[in-house]
Amino acid sequence: MKNKPENVENYLNTFSSKFDRNLVDLIPKSQKISSKLFDAMHYVIKVGGKRLRPIFLMEIAKILGVEKTYSFRTAASIEFIHCYSLVHDDLPAMDNDDLRRGSPTCHRQYDDATAILVGDAFQSLAFEVLADKKTHPDPGIRCSLINELAKSSGSNGMVGGQMLDLEAEKKKLDLDQILQLQKLKTGELFRFSCLASCILSEKLDEIRIFEDFASKLGLAFQIKDDLLDVEGDEKKIGKKTKKDSDRGKETLISLLGKDNAKKKSEDLIFKAIKLLERYGEKAKKLIELTDFIISRNK
């Protein structure tokens, strides 16, 4: 029997409140004469986020028997990368967004220079957290995590995807190109979130399954995001909607059509959940969260 989206949302909210309290503890204290940079870093975390990548990582960690401190710190490093990318993407030179989750974006609350530096500092912090022995006693495992995170977020990963996205404003992309763009821009970090616990538990045989799961989850997430951009409630989402269509950009919705896109996302989630059934009762929460990716309304 399916759990109601509201219940999953409550579960996610409880998770993210607790996660955020621990997340701020990882931001270094300012040892110096200025606190503006640190204030701005705290502001970005306070504005919050759905913390989807962390919750998927930590739920998979539970299934694979990873110690909570390890999965939390790895999830935190991914969220720091995600935060840095949002702060930079929001800049006037990029997407030029004034609002995120109903609050002024970092460069609107502070200024562009501060937002650039906040993003840079979050990226360093992600790797600092992973390299610390508190993340896992085995340095070989820490290096694997760092290597994977650097690749997922770098030029052939998230940053490369953002570059394609900027270029997409100037030329019409076809479906294959949009799929490629999304695979890089959001898919790569989802991929790492889903396989990190396989590395942490040294259950490398599971990587194939969770990579497959992540690719389905990431694409369904993106389709749902595009659907919300077209028909979602601006107030609930807390940022400007219809941005892509206003800019004449092709999206998964414009290329597939709304009904087909919706059907596609449902099919992807159905198949993603199928992959989890082998883990039995232990995967219950993860299955609910997977289903929530397309049932959410923000």
Positions in the binding site for its own copies (CB under 8 A): 27-28, 30-34, 36-38, 41, 84-85, 88, 91, 93-94, 111-114, 116-117, 119-121, 123-125, 127-128, 130-133, 138-140, 142-144, 146-147, 149-151, 153-157, 159-160, 162-164, 166-167, 177, 180, 184
Nearest in space to 218 (alpha carbons), one of 250, 256, 192: 192
Distance (Å) of CA 95 to CA 8, 44, 100, 148, 158: 31, 17, 12, 27, 15
Q: Which residues pair with 99 in a beta bridge?
A: 104
* Between 71 and 144, CB nearer to its own copies: 144
Helix (H, G, I), strand (E, B) or coil at 169: coil
* Residues of the chain by 3-state class (helix, strand, coil), percent to 5: 75, 0, 25
Provide, rounded to whole angstroms, the least separation between the CB of residue 145 and its own copies.
Answer: 8
Give the nearer residue to its own copies in terms of CB position, either 91 or 228.
91
Name the minimum Å distance from CB 214 to its own copies.
Answer: 18
Name 188's Cβ contacts closer than 8 Å, sequence gap at least 6. Answer: 151, 152, 153, 157, 158, 161
Q: Considering the complex, what minimum distance in angstroms separates the CB of residue 123 from its own copies? A: 5
Q: Judged by CB, which is closer to its own copies: 86, or 293? A: 86
Cβ closest to its own copies, residue 120 vs residue 234: 120
Sign of CA dihedral 237, 240, 256, 169: negative
What CA–CA distance (Å, rounded) separates 47 from 21?
Answer: 13
Q: Given the complex with its own copies, which of 84 and 190 has the nearer CB atom?
A: 84
Question: How far lies 2's CA from each of 38, 217, 284, 290, in Å?
Answer: 42, 18, 10, 12
To its own copies, the closest distance from the beta carbon of 51 in angstroms equals 21
Give every CB contact of residue 184 below 8 A, 6+ residues apart in sequence: 156, 157, 158, 160, 161, 164
CB of 193 to its own copies, least distance (A): 16
How far apart are CB 70 and its own copies at their closest, in Å? Answer: 14
The smaller minimum CB distance to its own copies, of residues 61 and 87, is found at: 87
